[in-house]
Amino acid sequence: MPDIRTRFAPSPTGYMHIGNLHTALFEWLFARHHGGQFVLRIEDTDEARHTPEAVTVIYEGLRWLGLDWDEGPDVGGPYAPYIQSERVDIYRHYLARLLEQGLAYECFCTPEELEQQREALRARGLPPRYEGRCRRLSEREKAALRAVGRPACIRFRTPETGQTVIRDLIQGEVVYDNALLGDPVIGKTSGFPTYHFAVVVDDFEMRITHVIRAAEHLGNTQIHLLLQQALGFPSPQYAHLPLILGEDRSKLSKRHGAVSVMDYAERGFLPEAMFNFLALLGWSPGGTEEILSREEIIQRFTLEACSASPSVFDLTKAEWMNGEYMKAMSGEEIARRLLPYLQKQGLFEGNPAPERLAWLARVADLMKERAPLLTTFTTWARYFFTDDYPYDEKARKRWLTKPDTPQTLRALADRLEALGDWSAQSIEAEVRGLAEELGVSAGQVIHPCRAAVTGTTVGPSLFHLLELLAQQDVIHRLRRAADQFAEDLPAD
């Protein structure tokens, strides 16, 4: 195989859809597997002009997942520039060549006329397409139209007969009739190329060997192959990735909640888990293991093992996978990742001292079995960082509003206050001692205590959890709940 070159060619829309990142990942994996090059190209011919922020969003998404590019707008490369709006002269050159050879022509139809033409086709039950009204204009007719100031776009003169056969590396052989294809616009009245034209020129100019992209572009490939023939370019290989669907099996969209890459980062997904999860959407490593390292995925990745049928973005599975990565991670590492989330919520100081970081690592170690996401620490487990946490419904109903709870909590607070050694072991001894004294089971003390100190009924070992909180905070929380819920009790 020649040196493999793939490209990720997003349009800078201001946000990056998780589906785009999936495409980028597969292009990157293919290049890395073969020791090839991965090129980043910004396709902004549809925009008035790209904004720097919109491009930053793309960089940010790729970097978050750890997809590095060998050539691109910021790093340059032998085929620079890598932003289409800066390559307009190159497209003009090729447009002129097609016009000269009669393989493209000027179209003077106005938007209103085009709409009428489409309407007429629809009325005859035919799919709307350009029927070629300007295909055979004489030089005189063109001159007359120009003279009245009619702007012209440029259309590609597509073959009226025959078929275009796409030999797709994932979707297999797909055949399109040329007669059904209306002549597409390749140059806009503004002088800018359209997507079809720019993509074909750039894939050639940038020596792209494999175009790997989303399935929705399969239909466009007919135009791209025909344009390559007209321009005398060799065709790259095509591989169209399966669609990604939401859990209701419709195309993944904003309706399904978060679709922007950075939403997932904000939700507390680890990039390595998302990398693994996205890789398995439409690609099968063979075998049943699902947790695979980045290196293993690169090593095993092939397009042959990609599926042609759509895959479902199962958020529950993504969270499960993230949880598996959390479990395998050291407390120190989780603490490092967690810090920005906590700081953003005002739950942790900036520039923490080393002992505070060591404490956070212990919290992470204790909680990681139960925390599928980094944000679990700022939501469900926020009681580690603040006294300001809610008591959930179950904690209230099952334990806090029981008539003897306030008394138990106060008795426990008194015992813990007297405790000299604040360790899980000593705390446990006090809790069990109190249960014995009251003649109740240990659970009758443990559960209300957990409900009061954490606001929930579930969590890690209570004694280890209490050990990680400050003694005076635990006592304060026990008394606070005792007071609050004593007030709430109905008077006898």
Q: Does 10 bind ligand GLU (CB under 6 A)?
A: yes
**The only residue of 50, 213, 415, 447 in contact with ligand GLU, by rule CB under 6 A:** 213
Q: Is 243 in the site for ligand GLU (CB under 6 A)?
A: no
From the CB of 20, what's the least distance to ligand GLU, in Å?
A: 7
Q: Is 189 in the site for ligand GLU (CB under 6 A)?
A: no
Cα distances (Å, whole numbers) of residue 393 to 322, 389, 414, 459: 27, 13, 27, 15
The reply to whether 44 sits near ligand GLU by the rule CB under 6 A is no
Instruction: Indicate the residue among 50 and 415 with the shorter CB distance to ligand GLU.
Output: 50
User: In angstroms, rounded to a whole number, what is the distance separating the alpha carbons of residues 339 and 359?
Assistant: 12
Burial of 464 from C-beta contacts in 10 A (0-12 / 13-18 / 19+): middle
Active-site annotation holds for 254: yes
- Which of the residues 142, 188, 251, 254 is marked catalytic? 254
List the one residue out of 306, 315, 247, 312 whose CA is nearest residue 282.
306
The stretch among 6-14, 380-388, 441-449, 478-486 that binds ligand GLU (CB under 6 A) is 6-14
Interface stretch with ligand GLU, choices 7-15, 360-368, 444-452, 476-484 (CB under 6 A): 7-15
Cα 43 to Cα 20: distance, rounded to the nearest angstrom: 13
Q: Cβ-count burial of 376 within 10 angstroms (0-12 exposed, 13-18 middle, 19+ buried)?
A: buried
Compute φ and ψ for 127, nearest 5 degrees: -70, 140
Residue closer to ligand GLU by CB (options 18, 474) is 18
Angle at 93 between CA 103 and CA 225, to 5 degrees: 45
Question: How far apart are CB 11 and ligand GLU at their closest, in Å?
Answer: 4
Residue 236 as a binder of ligand GLU (CB under 6 A): the answer is no
Which DSSP state fits 398?
I
Q: Which helix (H) or strand (E) holds 476?
A: helix 471-488
Contacts of 311 (CB under 8 A, 6+ apart): 242, 243, 244, 245, 281, 282
- Is 155 an interacting residue with respect to ligand GLU (CB under 6 A)? no
Q: State yes or no: residue 217 binds ligand GLU (CB under 6 A).
A: yes
Gap between the Cα atoms of 399 and 5, Å rounded: 63
Compute the least distance from the CB of residue 215 to ligand GLU, in Å: 11
Query: How many residues form the binding site for ligand GLU (CB under 6 A)?
Result: 7
Q: Does 34 participate in binding ligand GLU (rule CB under 6 A)? A: no
Beta carbon of residue 10, minimum distance to ligand GLU (angstroms, whole number): 5
> Which residues sit at the interface with ligand GLU, rule CB under 6 A?
9-11, 43, 199, 213, 217
Catalytic residue numbers, as ranges: 254
